[in-house]
Structure 1
């Protein structure tokens, strides 16, 4: 945990407030979670919540959006309740904040409510709210900052994955770590989910054999690449990547499983309405990033009808690659065609 004076924030601005590691955040009157890496930001915000709930299970939690803000909300939800329970106010979309929110947040910094922790999430995607961030970083309000810079380099991704295991006292063999990071080099959220799956499912040390058993080297990567292409409507690329995956030794079963997992998530999120991601994730037992990813996938021309068609095609392929057909490769290609083209096979 770093607590530097006059250090640099995720966007390079000078700051005189403590800079905390996203794996070990702590509450303060104002907690600024900055930077684009959503996986780390979600962990940091959850860490603050868990810290406060451990201190007092009666913690009141409120979520508000800075870009769809109703005047007076911040002061109302942070004010002491009748019985004086601690309050956690999580504010998303600060990089798109309204003028009303900006004005009230700046005023709030001058007189933070006792017993309240206000977490401000700013993705650093825009300079909107810079005046608020500058005030926080100057020390107004007694805040702390949790920088979440982008994790793009292979070395950083490997360090991230290694920390997933060492932070809970588990060991992963170097070759196993390398295989795992290689298998999920395209998406940090999927890498994090894979680490958590191994932690939950496997006892003892994580070996290369364990990683290969679960993810087959790069097989799982190939499966998700094929699924992403098909779901986005890119039939040609999906078919090329499918054939490449199969030529590389991929098993048809986990390929279908990757499609099924993504489509199930899309179906759940599609029926959840327009609630904010955190509320939907909480109700469906998901992570925020899973909801956001599903919503992005659904924007690629999906309807209730075509989603149902895709799920039926995947269920048929699942049965066929598990023995119901003599030609599992054709079953896969037909599934990819139906999903990518959004119509029954052959039409």
Structure 2
């Protein structure tokens, strides 16, 4: 938390990732209570709150000289509330802390732009990229007194998915038994058996390594377990892009973490890419990406049988690999 007082400030928490937004707001509230334990906290829903509600909340009370005002769903604020918030942001009261949450998108963009021109604090709550999820898992484990191997972190992402709440919940579950320990792939598999091996990324890993039979088997298993067909094409697209980028730099004298930054993956993934690259050429990756794009359109409505489209995609990817090997 900041060493500066949160009172006399306005903070904009902006982005669609609700878990990160909630944590940012909670951190500011924690600091406010540490500074002023008796501070009054008011929460306003911008979809229904008025300028008068804001004035009342920021005006203090007979029982508390300091106050914190949290405005949820800022994008729904009407002109009156927006104007009052702007006035406060330009000249904040020394005993008031205002936190405004905006979920991103175009709703309320004009107010957002004007707010950013004032001297306010800004905390991003953007959705994480695919290659940032393992870092989130690693940091989450560290915050709960554990460490986790890179492969185990990726295995957890593949097992649980990209939802941050689900990932945080999974780490929380593991912490009850493994606090102070180092989490391995064996531990993750033990807790999430039956889920790790039925993801789009598991299918993609086998297919790109030339293990067509195993890829087809895992594809059928994944689909039978409820994995959405679009999640499979998304995994293939991400892995093929990373492979293509790796092929472009593999001859250069770089460390794994440098290559990982260029490829947009975690450093642990470079070993997998290095192994996969032995059977691929850039032209084959390009052909495979076309096959994935075709399948992606099919599973999103262009074809009547998405399962057949995915099996054809696996065959096309394998053919592209063999043709360019």
* TM score, norm. by length of structure 2: 0.55
> Partner of 2:89 in structure 1?
109
Give yes or no for the alignment of 1:97 onto 2:77: yes
**CA 1:211–1:217 in 2, change beyond 3 Å: closer, same or farther?**
farther
User: Of 215, 230, 240, which residue of structure 1 is paired with 2:192?
Assistant: 215
Give yes or no for the alignment of 1:152 onto 2:135: no
- Alignment length (residue pairs): 204
Alignment gaps of 5+ in structure 1: 2-19, 223-239, 247-347
> Partner of 1:179 in structure 2?
155
Alignment gaps of 5+ in structure 2: 200-219, 227-325
Determine the C-alpha separation between the residues in 1 that align with 2:28 and 2:178: 28
Report the CA distance between 1:66 and its aligned residue. 1.2
Confirm or deny: 8 A CA contact 1:161 1:191 kept in the other structure.
yes
Mapping of residues 71-90 of structure 1, within 5 Å: 71-90=51-70
Confirm or deny: 8 A CA contact 1:25 1:48 kept in the other structure.
no
Report the CA distance between 1:84 and its aligned residue. 4.0
Determine the C-alpha separation between the residues in 1 that align with 2:31 and 2:139: 20
Q: Which has the larger radius of gyration?
A: 2
Partner of 1:72, secondary structure, is helix
Determine the C-alpha separation between the residues in 2 that align with 1:56 and 1:100: 30
* TM score, norm. by length of structure 1: 0.52
Report the CA distance between 1:114 and its aligned residue. 2.1
Give yes or no for the alignment of 1:47 onto 2:24: no
Mapping of residues 199-214 of structure 1, within 5 Å: 199-205=175-181, 206-214=183-191
Report the CA distance between 1:137 and its aligned residue. 2.1
**CA 1:52–1:188 in 2, change beyond 3 Å: closer, same or farther?**
same
Mapping of residues 1-347 of structure 1, within 5 Å: 27=6, 29-130=9-110, 132-138=111-117, 140=118, 142-153=119-130, 155-205=131-181, 206-216=183-193, 218=195, 244-245=224-225
Determine the C-alpha separation between the residues in 1 that align with 2:114 and 2:45: 20
Determine the C-alpha separation between the residues in 2 that align with 1:196 and 1:217: 19
More helix by share: 2
Report the CA distance between 1:26 and its aligned residue. 7.8
Report the CA distance between 1:159 and its aligned residue. 1.2
Give the superposed CA RMSD.
Answer: 3.0
Confirm or deny: 8 A CA contact 1:96 1:129 kept in the other structure.
no
Determine the C-alpha separation between the residues in 1 that align with 2:72 and 2:127: 18
